[in-house]
Amino acid sequence: MPEGVNLSRRGLFRGRLTSKEPGVQLPWSLPWPDFVADCTRCGDCLTACPEQILVKGDGGFPMVEFRHGECTFCGDCVAACKAPIFRPTTEAPWQYIAHIEANCLASTQVFCQRCQDSCETRAIRFSPMLGRVPTPSIDAASCTGCGACVMDCPVGSIRVGAPGSENPI
C-alpha cells in the first residue's frame, strides 16, 4: 500500500466513513476499530488458513465465512500476520456462540440433527418432546463458536454471533 494514503478519506468518496464490522471477526483479533486501524489487508491470513474460511470482507478486511467450513483455532492466521492486530493465542479466541433461528427444520416437524452430529463439543442437544420431533438447544458454556454446525445445516438456520444477540450474524 502506498505510503501516505489515508483510507478513511477514500471511504468518504464511497459514502462510508468507516468499514462495516463483520458479524464474526478473526479469532484472537483486537476490537474492530483497533483491528482496521492496523490491518494492511495483505491477505496473509487468508492464505494461511488451512480451512479456507477467511475471506475478504467489506473494505478488503478479512472476515470469517462459516459456509466454507469451521474454525479449528489452529492460530495460523495469527502466526502469518505481521501487523499487531491480534491478542495472544493463550487467551480465548472469541466470545461467539451458535444461534438457531426460527427456520430450523425441527420447527416445521422435520427430523434433522445434522448440527448436533457436527458439534465436536456436543454443545447442540436435541430434547425429545411428546408428539413432536426433538428440538435443538445450545449450551452456551460448551459452544466454542467454531461454526461446524453452520455449514452442515441444510436450511441455513444456524448463525454464529455474540451471546444473547437477538439478531445473530
Give me the average pLDDT of each 10-residue run along the chain (169 residues): 48 55 93 95 97 94 95 98 96 96 94 95 93 94 97 95 64
**Known binding site for [4Fe-4S] cluster: residues?**
39, 42, 45, 49, 71, 74, 77, 81, 143, 146, 149, 153
pLDDT at 56: 95
Nearest Cα neighbor of 139 from 118, 119, 113 is 119
pLDDT at 18: 59
Sequence-ordered list of residues with C-beta below 8 angstroms from that of 33, at least 6 positions apart, any chain: none
CA distance 92 to 73: 10
pTM of the model: 0.81
**Known binding site: residues?**
39, 42, 45, 49, 71, 74, 77, 81, 143, 146, 149, 153
pLDDT at 20: 83
Are 63 and 25 contacting, i.e. CB atoms less than 8 angstroms apart?
yes
CA 6 to chain centre: 28
pLDDT at 164: 75
